[in-house]
Amino acid sequence: MNLLAFIIGIAIPLALGWMMLLLLERKNPVLGNIERWFWALVLGPTLFALLAFIFHVLGITKLNLFGFLMPSIVLLLILLAVAKRTHAFTARTHQPAYAGSIPLPASLKVGILILAVWTGIKILAGSIDLISVPTYWDDSFNNWNMRGKMFFVTEMLTLEIPIGNGMIQSSAGVGSYPSTVPLLKTWLSTLRGSWEEPLVNGLHVIWFTGLLGSFFFGLRRRLSPLLSLGGTCLLVSLPLLLIQATNPYADIFMAAHVLLAILCLISLASQRDPEKSRTWTSIFGLSLGLLFFTKNEATVLYAPLLTLMLLWVLFEKKRAGILNVEQARRLLGLSMLLAMTFAAPWLLFKWSQGLTFGNAKSVSGLSIVFNALSLQAIWYHLTREPNWLLLPLVTPLAVILSGKKAFKLPDGILTVFLILVISAQIFIFTFTPLAPEAIMQTGLSRGLLHVMPIAMMLTIFLTEQLVRLTHSAPSS
């Protein structure tokens, strides 16, 4: 029964996401057929939860089977009708210009295949564990799963969790977290008819799969299939990423959404066709809008920086003569309109309920206090612990060796975004009362996790370029 509920419970959001992407692409598709499914796996469930949320807070539905199904089925039918009318289904067969295969030494081929098997074993073992053991981690039983179960029992978006005469650790601020992850757990349980841990925890495999698939196809636009597979294995090799991905935490979910928005931007930066640029901008708008409904970091950190990156790309395209001012303005307007359409419900709700705009702690009241211990903890986290294997050394090294190339479009998007996000995080953890999040290595590691797929992709691209350049350089 759990498996059946899981399949149906994922299939509907997946179809919704897929249809939405297909309609945004229509006559100018940019995603590959399989690639689109992976993107839908990330965006679809968030869109599904957002619809249920909107209808519920408007007082139209409860968080029950009807409340979840009705909005999505109605939208799905509308999207189907529009797609049929606009012949959007032809986009299905589109094959993007992925990089072709290149001759590789047999030893490297065998090495990558062994690495893939090793990676598969780790993912399989982690996934089995995820659905077979009780909810163990604090944020799962005090936030994500707790709220999901509460919504399931009450059929309402209850913001405050009962704290049992004040004895259970304070849940203050948890209600300000976007409710996507709990809502999807509520949905699966509603479909199943009972709260089942294997079912609600198994959901996290979906985001991991979506992240890995999107990452693989992100690499495929520049690298051969085998190298892309190897690169994806390297991503899974990051120990903390693997642990987070195979446990009921929400940061892989967040990382997948940030990655999709960035992938849109690097594809937009490489795109010379104005129509395909329009498609990438639209998908960026969707990704950015849904990002607001993931975690609070999206509102205060990632969305402003991603918008800044979009402005940079449009400015560069205008400067290169690919777009004129009017076209650039229109693309910016389109993406912002789409983003705000999807972001507005959650932002308005937060504002109307007086919820904080921080990660459980309000950012508005934070004072500036220097904390040297945070810097020590960050240094310790990056140099004494193999949380991200050698990435803290290899990524800066690849950027330094690549020089200016690392800062030019399209890779510059990854480099600059990464530098800005990490600088902002170091600033927040060093100069605000959020310092304990770094000293205890809690918020710090999760913040870094959000951008680790981007750091890995950047490192792979830059290293591949360096190696390729040395091969093509004439010997002396």
Residues that bind another protein (CB under 8 A): 115, 118, 121-122, 125-126, 128-129, 132-139, 141-142, 145-146, 149-150, 153-154, 161-162, 164-165, 167-169, 234, 237, 239-240, 242-244, 247, 249, 381, 383-387, 389-390, 393-394, 397, 401, 440-442, 445-446, 463, 466-467, 470-471, 473-476
Half-sphere exposure of residue 338, counting CA atoms within 13 Å on the CB side? 23
Alpha-carbon distance 459 to 253, whole Å? Answer: 22
Question: How deeply is 351 buried, as exposed, middle or buried, from its count of CB atoms within 10 A (0-12, 13-18, 19+)?
Answer: exposed
Q: Using the minimum distance from each CB to another protein, give the nearer residue, 279 or 430.
A: 430
Q: Using the minimum distance from each CB to another protein, give the nearer residue, 61 or 244.
A: 244
CB of 193 to another protein, least distance (A): 17
CB of 104 to another protein, least distance (A): 14
* Residues 130, 203 contacting (CB under 8 angstroms): no
SS3 360: coil
Residues composing the chain = 476
CB of 168 to another protein, least distance (A): 5
Question: Could you tell me the two tokens for 465?
Answer: 């370029």
Q: Using the minimum distance from each CB to another protein, give the nearer residue, 423 or 442.
A: 442
CB of 40 to another protein, least distance (A): 28
**Eight-state DSSP code of residue 320:** T
Alpha-carbon distance 220 to 228, whole Å? Answer: 6
Question: Could you tell me the two tokens for 170?
Answer: 């304070």
CB of 378 to another protein, least distance (A): 11
CB of 180 to another protein, least distance (A): 19
Q: Using the minimum distance from each CB to another protein, give the nearer residue, 370 or 379.
A: 379
Sorted by sequence, the CB contacts under 8 Å of residue 207 that are 6+ apart come out as 41, 42, 245, 252, 253, 256
Q: Using the minimum distance from each CB to another protein, give the nearer residue, 93 or 165.
A: 165
Q: Using the minimum distance from each CB to another protein, give the nearer residue, 340 or 389.
A: 389
Alpha-carbon distance 402 to 227, whole Å? Answer: 20
Q: Using the minimum distance from each CB to another protein, give the nearer residue, 234 or 259.
A: 234
- Computed on alpha carbons and rounded to an integer, the radius of gyration of the chain in Å comes to 22
* Residues 280, 30 contacting (CB under 8 angstroms): yes
**Eight-state DSSP code of residue 475:** P
CB of 62 to another protein, least distance (A): 16
CB of 133 to another protein, least distance (A): 6
Q: Using the minimum distance from each CB to another protein, give the nearer residue, 150 or 413.
A: 150
* Residues 177, 143 contacting (CB under 8 angstroms): yes
* Nearest CA-CA partner of 66 in 80, 76, 55, 58: 55
Alpha-carbon distance 183 to 210, whole Å? Answer: 18
Token pair 């009705």 in the structure block, residue? 70
* Nearest CA-CA partner of 205 in 34, 386, 71, 9: 9
Q: Using the minimum distance from each CB to another protein, give the nearer residue, 165 or 367.
A: 165
CB of 404 to another protein, least distance (A): 17
